Amino acid sequence: MTHRIVVLGAGYAGLGAAKRAAGTAGRDARVTLVNASDRFVERVRLHQVATGQATADLPLAGLLDGTGVELVRARATGIDADARTVRLDGAADLGYDTLVYALGSTADLDAVPGAREHALAIAREADAALLRDRLPGLESVAVVGGGLTGIETAAELAEARPGLRVELVTAGPLGEGLGSRARRHVHRTFARMGVTVHENERVANVAADGLLLESGRDLPADAFVWAAGFRVPSLAADAGLDVDGRGRVRVDGTLRARSHPEVIAVGDVAVLPVRGRAARMSCQIGLPMGLHGGAAAGALARGREPRPVKLRYVSQCVSLGRRDGVVQFTRADDTPIEPAVLTGRAAARVKEAIVRGTVFAMRRPNVAAAF
Ligand SMILES: Cc1cc2nc3c(=O)[nH]c(=O)nc-3n(C[C@H](O)[C@H](O)[C@H](O)COP(=O)(O)OP(=O)(O)OC[C@H]3O[C@@H](n4cnc5c(N)ncnc54)[C@H](O)[C@@H]3O)c2cc1C
């Protein structure tokens, strides 16, 4: 009997998973990939999209050519875990024997009052396009979030629009996960670019014309970009899968959902400890998770036990516009190796090479899985 593998989401995790599943599952399996759009979105370049830079057009049909994966363009609206069916808006419901859940994440716009009404986001292509379209009319932008996405967004905006007043507000220190040398470089670069940083300031409220900070200060700006955290879709939680407090699926060492072993969760929607710490939502972890998850689905289709996944961090790569950046080398658990930092143009080149490498991995996942 045909083993039906359904993959939800064609981002770094889901696309890699679908292609690996098709390459490993054998002839008696059918792999169907469901995605809201018919193009692959390079999410790690969305700050470039927001500043009007052209990025590659990557139709999923081309990336799937010759793999045997069937692409269904539709929005997944629900999972019936008992009936093993996914509900789709835009296509007929699909039954599965193995489900790979890879729907990624969106901006957490419900984090504080007013954010949903007044803040822009950078998490999805449509968010970035909205920011791009509004940018020409703006004199000031406040970016909320001092993590890697907030840093990259503020730098890209400042570089692309030199006259724009760019401010960054962060609840903790800027670039908290980086080592001190790397953080100093980000501060120096922001000073050069004219980005004003407000550290240890938590946003309480977003209004049409300004941010209200918990310290009582007001920070007026024409627009706000919410880069202070991502949230995952609720489909898994709604279907009764075992999830953490943020709705991410708890998986075992083979990436199978702890509560539903016929479901494999990969990428931002999965919570997996990497060397003792919950994995950071990142392409760096999501992409290899997807490759492994696809092979795990392939193993299940052949009636085999999936192998445990071994993941580790190598570095945190941050672009600071197109000509500067920081590469912070890390231990396997993501903690920074203090003096091991690359900065400036060399770091920008390394980051660009890595981003191109992710597209190579989407084209040739079997090669990528060998690393
Ligand atoms: C501006 C920016 C810069 C970043 N830079 C880096 C970086 O430098 N390094 C790094 O490691 N990480 C970076 N990240 C994080 C990284 O992009 C994510 O962690 C990564 O994309 C997660 O991959 P994923 O496959 O889980 O999800 P995604 O890439 O988000 O893919 C999810 C897919 O599911 C589809 N989908 C969602 N809901 C539905 C639905 N209901 N029905 C059908 N389809 C649906 C989406 O359209 C999408 O195709 C960055 C993120 C942003 C926003």
For 280-322, what is each residue's pLDDT tens digit? 899 999 999 999 999 999 999 999 999 999 999 999 999 999 9
Task: State the DSSP code for 25.
Answer: S
What integer is the mean pLDDT of 103-109?
A: 97
What is the pairing mode between strands 203-206 and 336-343? unpaired
Q: Specify the CATH class of 107-229 in words.
A: alpha beta
Ligand 1 atom closest to the CA of 14, numbered from 1:
25
What phi and psi, each to the nearest 5 degrees, are found at residue 11?
Answer: -90, -160
* pLDDT value, residue 51: 97
* pLDDT value, residue 352: 97
Task: State the DSSP code for 267.
Answer: G
Interval 25-50: pLDDT, tens: 999 999 999 999 999 999 999 999 99
Spell out the long-range contacts of 149-152 with Cβ–Cβ below 8 A and sequence spacing 24 or more: 149/47, 149/122, 149/227, 150/225, 150/227, 150/228, 151/175, 151/186, 151/318, 151/320, 152/47, 152/318, 152/319, 152/320
* pLDDT value, residue 127: 96
Q: Which fold has domain 3-105+232-310?
A: FAD/NAD(P)-binding domain (3.50.50)
Ligand 1: which residues within 6 Å by Cβ? Answer: 9-14, 34-37, 41, 43-44, 46-47, 75-76, 102-105, 122-123, 149, 152, 233, 267-268, 281-284, 286, 317
Q: With 80 as the cut, is the pLDDT of residue 99 above it?
A: yes
Residue with tokens 């890595």: 354
Domain residue spans in the chain? 3-105+232-310, 107-229
Mutation pick for ligand 1 pocket among 51, 93, 103, 153 (CB with most ligand atoms within 8 Å): 103
Q: Which residue's C-alpha comes closest to atom 38 of ligand 1?
A: 103
* Domain 3-105+232-310 shares a fold with domain 107-229: yes
CA 269 to ligand 1 center in whole angstroms? 10
Percent of the chain having pLDDT more than 70?
100
Q: What is the mean pLDDT of the chain?
A: 96
How far is the C-alpha of 248 from the C-alpha of 242, rounded, in Å?
A: 8
Residues contacting residue 251 through CB under 8 Å, at least 6 positions apart: 257, 258, 264, 265, 270, 271, 272
What is the pairing mode between strands 210-213 and 203-206? antiparallel
**Cβ atoms < 10 Å from Cβ of 26:** 13
